[in-house]
Structure 1
Amino acid sequence: MNFSDLSASIGAKILENGHRAVLTVTGGRFPTKLLGMQTLELHTIGRKSGQRRSTMLTAPIYGPEKIVVVASKGGHSVDPDWFKNLVANPDVEVTVGEKTTQWTARRADADEKARLWPILVKANSGYQGYQDKTDRDIPVVILTPRG
């Protein structure tokens, strides 16, 4: 693993664990938004383990009919595990506050990403920095309600 990937991995873990700790300490009341984006917990099924896995994310686009998240992993050269899991099993759950709902996840196609990317970068300019830092095409994930 190169230094850039190592720093991206460490940064992502610190942010996620810090967010989870603050939510625990405040009884889930804070932070409900980071950088103006909705915070959420995404639950996937591990593609290798078959076990439920959870990760804290921000959603630059969040609504009752569509949630959009970015699989940036801080510009790491490899896609995050949560993204690999939802590719293998697109039936996911999202927890916001105390409510967990069922969603279907899919990677945005090239045209969808082209339309969404300016909106996502406006919400968090860091996404463009992450994309510039890596050779991989950072996936944009669209979640729609299941059932």
Structure 2
Amino acid sequence: MTNLILTVKGRRSGRWLRTGLFFGEDDGRYILVASGSAVTHTHPDWYLNVVANPGVGVQILAERFRARARTAEGPERDRLWRKMTALAPVYRTYEARSRRQIPVVILERV
């Protein structure tokens, strides 16, 4: 399974930070799930950094590009959540164990 490398600017440090993430695709956009893990009741750091600094770098295999990140909401989030749980059913387990709504992030090329 191919992961993408997300490069985000740290909201406190100002440093560029990289993390590998599972992703899906939707109409030319890339979709991420900010699950953290099954027992995490807070959003992962990469997601908090994306909210503070939505201009990100993305690498998929040898391709690198800039993107703008945003959190999906409402019916769009529901549709993308279903899509991502079909690709990775473990997200349903994470959702059941978490006290928060797990964000779905859309990356659009710039």
The TM-score bracket by the shorter chain reads over 0.9
More helix by share: 1
Q: TM-score, normalised by structure 1?
A: 0.71
Once residues 93 and 80 of structure 2 are traced to their aligned partners in structure 1, the CA distance between those partners, rounded to angstroms, is 16
More strand by share: 2
Shift of 1:62: 6.0
Structure 2 match to 1:120: 84
Larger Rg: 1
Structure 1 match to 2:99: 135
Pairs aligned (count) = 109
Q: TM-score, normalised by structure 2?
A: 0.93
Q: Return structure 1 stretches of 4+ with deviation > 4 angstroms.
A: none
Shift of 1:132: 0.4
The one-letter code matched in structure 2 to 1:48 is R
Once residues 83 and 99 of structure 1 are traced to their aligned partners in structure 2, the CA distance between those partners, rounded to angstroms, is 22
Once residues 91 and 66 of structure 1 are traced to their aligned partners in structure 2, the CA distance between those partners, rounded to angstroms, is 15
Structure 2 match to 1:92: 56
Once residues 115 and 39 of structure 1 are traced to their aligned partners in structure 2, the CA distance between those partners, rounded to angstroms, is 21
Three-state SS of the structure 2 residue aligned to 1:42 is strand
Three-state SS of the structure 1 residue aligned to 2:37 is helix
Gaps of 5+ in 2: none
Matched, 1:78 2:46: no
Matched, 1:67 2:30: yes
- Matched-pair identity in %: 34
In the alignment, which of 39, 51, 70 is matched to residue 106 of structure 1?
Answer: 70
Q: Give the structure, 1 or 2, with the largest relative contact order (CA under 8 Å, sep 6 or more).
A: 2
Aligned CA distance change for structure 1 residues 56 and 62 (closer, same or farther; 3 Å):
farther
Report Cα offsets for 1:30-85 as digits up to 9, x if no partner. Answer: xxx2xxxx31100000000000000000102266x300010001131010000000
Once residues 119 and 79 of structure 1 are traced to their aligned partners in structure 2, the CA distance between those partners, rounded to angstroms, is 20
Report Cα offsets for 1:7-48 as digits up to 9, x if no partner. Answer: xxxxxxxxxxxxxxxxxxxxxxxxxx2xxxx31100000000
Aligned CA distance change for structure 1 residues 86 and 74 (closer, same or farther; 3 Å):
same
Once residues 46 and 103 of structure 2 are traced to their aligned partners in structure 1, the CA distance between those partners, rounded to angstroms, is 12
Gaps of 5+ in 1: 1-32
